[in-house]
Amino acid sequence: MVWKTKLTELLAIEYPIIQGGLAYLAYADLAAAVSNAGALGQITAMSLEGPEALRNQIRRVRELTDKPFGVNFAIGQHGRPYEQMVEVAIEESVPVLSVTGGNPKGVIDMVKGHEIKTLVLVAAKRQAQKAEELGADAVIVVGQEGGGHLGRADTGTMVLTPQVVDSVSVPVVASGGIVDGRGLMAALALGAEGVEMGTRFIATKECVDAHPVYKQAILNADEHATVVIKRSLGTPGRALRNEWTDQILALESKEVGYDGLKSYISGQANRNYIHNGKIAEGFGWAGQGVASITSIPSVQELMDGIIQEAEAIKNKWK
Ligand SMILES: Cc1cc2nc3c(=O)[nH]c(=O)nc-3n(C[C@H](O)[C@H](O)[C@H](O)COP(=O)(O)O)c2cc1C
């Protein structure tokens, strides 16, 4: 069966599925595996050391696949300038670039005139309209269920997706809480042209940088297993609940501010958990969809399962 949506046409991919940026986890091997399986894999630029590391990652993806792939820029994070990194993505003619975490204008302006499709992550109708005005080729809606950084307004994917679909004319991609073929079909029913998944790709064989302890925590998790931290800083993000996040929430309730929180929410604390499996010394981002993740397949097996499940749903309603 042929899957054809505005997103598959725009990005020249087989299935309307994007692997979201995953800080410290989405490198060339995962991105290439996702693209080889017919979806869009992405490298996460801003958790790499610098422009040359990004160039190496892009070249490595090209060694592993001839399919389209993307580079994700979380421009608000790490307080680092992104221009040189975007320059590398342009020099290397990457097919797709996605932007989150700040005003996307700088990145979109740099990319204008090049054969690069731009995707902007949004968590509100107004942001989606702004992204379209600036020239984004598609917007990715980030609902409250999602893993990692979120919008401030706590709006869920089910509500946000149709709102955004009705307010822009570029293709809309739904994300937040989607982990299977049911989620894909639900998103399409809401008017999305595809989905982005983050958490689901962590629990795959090719996500080699995720420690087995992190993957196991995802498998063990139920629908109450995640919490939103960093809300007091205006940058909420969803993580697996553990003693470390309980401590963060306790500190936030005391209004300690950034200085009081910084060692708890640092990249190092994140890596302690996700790379080293030290669950008492850090945190790992994850979305509410963890509740439905029960296996660690290869990316190809994951994609086959999602597509089979989605097609069974389609056939049910024929
Ligand atoms: C561990 C982790 C790290 C993330 N890092 C980034 C990032 O660097 N850039 C980005 O755009 N989104 C990031 N996200 C968000 C995802 O790309 C995606 O939008 C989100 O995971 C969708 O929700 P889901 O986890 O329910 O699928 C991250 C999510 C997770 C779980």
Q: Which residue has its alpha carbon closest to ligand 1 atom 9?
A: 21
For the chain, the domains span 6-208+302-316, 212-289
**172: closest CA among 157, 151, 182?**
157
**Mean pLDDT, residues 37-61:** 96
**Mean pLDDT, residues 299-303:** 98
Task: Provide the pLDDT for residue 2.
Answer: 83
- Distance in Å, CA 318 to ligand 1 centroid: 34
- Distance in Å, CA 20 to ligand 1 centroid: 5
% of the chain with per-residue pLDDT over 90: 96
**Mean pLDDT, residues 216-245:** 97
Query: Per mean pLDDT, which range of 32-36, 163-167, 234-238, 314-318 is the poorest?
Result: 314-318
Q: Which residue has the higher pLDDT, 47 or 278?
A: 278
315 pLDDT band, cuts 50/70/90, is very high
Three-class DSSP category at 40: strand
Q: Can you read off the two tokens belonging to residue 37?
A: 């399986």
Q: Which residue has its alpha carbon closest to ligand 1 atom 8?
A: 23
79 pLDDT band, cuts 50/70/90, is low
Task: Provide the pLDDT for residue 77.
Answer: 58
CATH topology of domain 6-208+302-316: TIM Barrel (3.20.20)
- Ligand 1 contacts (CB < 6 A) are 20-23, 25, 44, 72, 74, 100, 121, 142, 145-148, 175-178, 196-200, 285-287, 289
Task: Provide the pLDDT for residue 98.
Answer: 98
- Distance in Å, CA 315 to ligand 1 centroid: 31
Q: Is the pLDDT of residue 76 over 90?
A: no
- Distance in Å, CA 109 to ligand 1 centroid: 24
- Distance in Å, CA 99 to ligand 1 centroid: 12
At 100, which amino acid appears? T
Over the stretch 280-294, which tens digit does the pLDDT of each residue have?
999 999 999 999 999
Give the mutation target among 157, 195, 285 for probing the ligand 1 site: most ligand atoms within 8 A of CB.
Answer: 285
Q: Which residue has its alpha carbon closest to ligand 1 atom 1?
A: 285
Ligand 1 atom closest to 284 (CA):
1
Ligand 1 atom closest to 198 (CA):
21
What is the b/e burial string over 230-265, where b = at least 16 CB atoms within 10 angstroms of the residue's CB?
bbbeebbbbbbbbebbeebeebbeeeeeeeebeebb
- Distance in Å, CA 287 to ligand 1 centroid: 8
Task: Provide the pLDDT for residue 104.
Answer: 94
Ligand 1 atom closest to 238 (CA):
31
Task: Provide the pLDDT for residue 317.
Answer: 77
pTM value is: 0.97
Task: Provide the pLDDT for residue 280.
Answer: 97
Task: Provide the pLDDT for residue 78.
Answer: 55
Q: Can you read off the two tokens belonging to residue 101?
A: 């975490």
**Mean pLDDT, residues 205-223:** 98
DSSP label at 46?
A: G
The CA-CA-CA angle for residues 159, 284, 104, to 5°, reads 55
- Distance in Å, CA 197 to ligand 1 centroid: 8
**1: closest CA among 300, 309, 298?**
309
* 277-281: long-range contacts, CB 8 A cutoff, minimum separation 24: 277/211, 277/212, 277/213, 277/214, 279/213, 279/217, 279/242, 279/244, 280/242, 280/243, 280/244, 281/244
Q: Is the pLDDT of residue 13 over 80?
A: yes
Bridge partners, residue 197, by sequence? 19
Ligand 1 atom closest to 46 (CA):
8
SS (H, E, C) 62-94: HHHCCCCEEEEEECCHHHCCCHHHHHHHHHCCC
Task: Provide the pLDDT for residue 288.
Answer: 98
Task: Provide the pLDDT for residue 81.
Answer: 85
Interatomic CA distance for residues 308 and 181, integer angstroms? 7
Query: Per mean pLDDT, which range of 18-22, 29-33, 100-104, 221-225 is the poorest?
Result: 100-104
- Distance in Å, CA 317 to ligand 1 centroid: 32
- Distance in Å, CA 22 to ligand 1 centroid: 5
Interatomic CA distance for residues 298 and 313, integer angstroms? 23
Q: Which residue has its alpha carbon closest to ligand 1 atom 11?
A: 21
Task: Provide the pLDDT for residue 1.
Answer: 77
